Amino acid sequence: MAMQQHLRIREHHRSPITALGYHAARRECLTGFEDGVIKWWDMENGHMSLCTKEHSGRVTHFLSWIPTHLLFSASNDSSVIVWAPGGAVLDRIQLGYPIFTLAISLARHLLLCGSKGRLVAFPLDERRESGHVVNLSQGFSDQTHTDIVSCIACLDNNIYTAGYDKRLLIFDTYQSPSRKGLTTKHCISRAHRAAITHLLLVRQQETTRVLSGSFDQTVGIWSQDGQLIHRLGPFTGNITALCYVATTGIVWIASGTSQPTLYEPQSGEIVSDSTGCSSLGMWPTSKSLLRRDQ
């Protein structure tokens, strides 16, 4: 199957793009900027459908809560904003500390927020009985990380986190009549030689793998219980993105070059080479589906 460019958006904005997201209910792509602006893009024609500025700082993450058709956006201005399907602000959550990443644990019905040296969990409250989409008064946290928690992934009851402290952690939650909390099941204190910037869960028929990307220019392949299976790299640059394409069973690895590296978890092999050719076909001249032109 040959890969073809679907769409290119030529965008002129005075601030860099700091977050990319997808609103499942609206079927639109979102770009978040350093100045707090969020732009919403129709992926059929590339037209901008909405431009908002509700954050006062850098937009750091988008998260689509698919069952409720809601979207979360996070910022280093200490706020999380909840967006209704129509694009209006449904809720504004002020946390008092910068948020760098978000995730939802469907098994535990929690919103997870990564901050500096802290993982915070809030029970979801879609009916807003507590006054917000999350119950702030019942939140709980863990401070095992010593630097920015940059990525969170959830698998069943497990919560995986990684950060700038080079650590990869696996958490579970516990609940007693008096309190709720996070418990550390496994801590890999030096999962990489530099800050970890990306986590990716790859679920296939018989196996589940956890992939971690880092500023040390490598990708770690881990079992779901935190055992290192393999390490890819070093690549030519820092790992800037990891993406799993379920329909082809291929992981795309971006590392600062114009072409991604393609990795097949089933075989454990790289299926693309430095020329850009792969078993999936020849790459088009332009590689990016969405880019910001200077």
At residue 121, φ and ψ (nearest 5 deg) are -120, 135
- On whether the CB atoms of residues 214 and 192 are closer than 8 A, the answer is yes
Give the tens place of pLDDT for each residue, 83-133. Answer: 999 999 999 999 999 999 999 999 999 999 999 999 999 999 999 999 999
The tokens for 11 are: 């965008």
Mean predicted confidence (pLDDT) in 35-61: 95
Cα 107 from Cα 62, distance rounded (Å): 20
Bridge partner residues of 143 (DSSP): none
Cis peptide before 234 (omega within 30 of 0): yes
Q: Give CA 218 to chain center in angstroms.
A: 18
More confident residue, 75 or 181: 75
Q: Indicate if the alpha-carbon torsion angle 282, 221, 194, 64 is positive or negative.
A: positive
In this structure, what DSSP letter does residue 106 have? T
Nearest Cα to 78, choosing from 101, 56, 98, 54?
98
Give the tens place of pLDDT for each residue, 159-210. Answer: 999 999 999 999 998 877 677 889 999 999 999 999 999 999 999 888 899 9
Overall pTM surpassing 0.85 (yes/no) = yes
The tokens for 95 are: 């946390």
Rounded to 10 degrees, the C-alpha dihedral 198/225/149/141 comes to: 150
Gyration radius (Cα) of the chain, Å: 19
The b-or-e profile of 49-58 (16+ CB within 10 A means b, else e) is: ebebebbeeb
Cα 115 from Cα 163, distance rounded (Å): 10
Give the tens place of pLDDT for each residue, 3-24. Answer: 667 777 777 788 999 999 999 8
Weakest mean pLDDT among 64-73, 166-175, 272-281: 272-281
Total Cβ atoms within 10 A of residue 203: 12
Starting at the edge strand that comes first in sequence, how are the strands of the sheet with 59-65 ordered? 59-65, 70-75, 79-83, 89-94
CB proximity list for 144: less than 8 A, separation 6 or greater: 119, 167, 169, 184, 187
Cα 228 from Cα 68, distance rounded (Å): 36
- On whether the CB atoms of residues 168 and 188 are closer than 8 A, the answer is yes
Average pLDDT, the chain: 89
